Structures are given as structure tokens and as C-alpha cells.
Amino acid sequence: MVAKDTFFQKKVTLNAGGKLIDLSSPKVMGIINITPDSFYAGSRKTDTASVIQQAEKMLTDGATFLDLGAYSSRPGALDISVDEETGRLLPAVEAIVKNVPEAIISIDTFRASVAEAAIKAGAHIINDISGGSLDAEMFATVARLQVPYILMHMKGTPQNMVQQAQYEDIFAEVFDYFVRRIYQLKKLGVHDIIIDPGFGFAKTAEQGYALMSRMQEFNLLQLPVLAGVSRKRMIYGLLGHTAEEALNGTTVLNTIALTKGAGILRVHDVREAVEAVKIWEACENAV
């Protein structure tokens, strides 16, 4: 019961665009991919109308955050230019800000210039799969903008990360990675940091389950933890089917993540994740 014992030591609030988010009750982040090649076809929204429609649906279903990405980070994805990423992303951000102003928008990018342009367009959070390792300007940019930062663990790049999945002790290496980067961020004055173990990024399925089995120990860092396992290969590969068939497995693994202290679930299917949170909380709060 490490998660429960350390709960009140953790930072459980997040300031996103002047809105104070209470993460003592787990929240759900809906994924909107403005890409033609993300691994799960159901998440791809390549025109403004479908982006707005998906944003509205996710908020109605109970999402607290919307995570917009215009650079596919699936294993082996094609590298695209800054201009192409920005050209895909900014119209979507601007459309949501205009049509769904209550939305709290997270930007999934490892490029500081793209992140800054999106924040200036009205987004609120930077979600960096590289933890600052692919752009030396990212940490300073986050500090200057004073926005929440999702610090994910990954080795290599989306193009070569599959070959980087080598560890002597995966939990110890990921934990040490977070300790060092959190220190750098705090030294720069970044106040709102969320950590993401990076399931599926430079990790085999077995390594992902090893991390999940010890995820409650990340609470020692006293920061909110995001779990992003939705429809990933670690689920559908184990069960012998496809990403399209992985919703039930995703719900199971999201529920396990909640028992281990996850404060945010990043998902393709918002309603099902919100239901998992409600049922988990009913069990936790039962007399």
C-alpha cells in the first residue's frame, strides 16, 4: 500500500492556464492525433471539424485534459519537419480554443519551438516524450513559459527506440532518469511536473509490465504520475490481437495503474477510463 501511505506527501495540484486542477482524484487525458499514421487509426483526426467534434465528445465523456499531437511517435514513425508539425498542430489548437474554450490542452511534442508556438496559441501543458533529451532548449522554454510539463522516459528517438530497449534494472534506471531531470527542472524554476514512465517507448512488453508492477514506487518522487498504456502493443501483443481490439485490456491495465497511484490516465477512449476511475474510487472510499 505504498501509494496510499505516500499520498498526502505528493503534489496533487496543477496550475494549467490559471485553472487549478486537483489530482487527488485521478483525471483522464484524451488523445487527439493530428497525424495520418498514428498506431491506432481511431485516434487520427486530420481536419479541423473532426478535431473539434472529438474534443467536444471527450469533454462530454469526462476528460479533464486533451492531448494534441502532430508528430507520430509510434516505433519507426517517419520524421517530419518543424514546419510540418507546426502546420498540422496550430490550426487544431486555435480551433479548440475558439470553439471549446473550456478545454485544457496538452501539447505532445519534443520540440521547444513547436511547444512555445502552441502555448502562445492557447494551449496549457507541454507533454514531451523525450524528457528534454531531443531538444536542448526544452527545459528553459518550459521554465520561461511557466506551464506544467509532462516528463516522460524514453531512450533514443521514435525511429530507433526499439533497439534501445536494453536495461540492467529497468525500474532503477527510469527512477534515476527522473531524479536527475526533476532536479534540473526545479533548478530552473519549473513548478508543475508530471512524470510518465513511457510505456512502450524503448521498452519491451515484459519491461513495461515490470515497470507497472513497481509503479507505486514512483510516488517517492512526490509528483503526479501519468500512465499512458492505451491500446499499446504491451496489451494487444500479449492477448494476440490488434490495437483496435485492445479496449478491454486497456481498461484492465488502467485500473491496475490506478491501484498503483496513477493521477492521470492518458487514453483514446475517455468514457471507459472515466468509468474505471469512478469504480476504483468507489472501492477506495467505501466504509
Residues known to be catalytic: 232, 266
112, 132 contact by CB (below 8 A): no
Q: Name the DSSP class of 201.
A: S
SS3 string, 117-173, reads HHHHCCCCEEEECCCCCCCCCHHHHHHHHCCCEEEECCCCCCCCHHHHCCCCCHHHH
Helices (H), the chain: 2-5, 48-61, 82-99, 112-120, 138-145, 170-188, 205-213, 233-239, 247-259, 270-285
Q: Which of 281, 260, 224, 228 has the alpha carbon at shortest distance from 14? A: 224
Residue 157: all three cell numbers together: 528517438
215, 225 contact by CB (below 8 A): yes
The Cα 234–Cα 250 span in angstroms is: 10
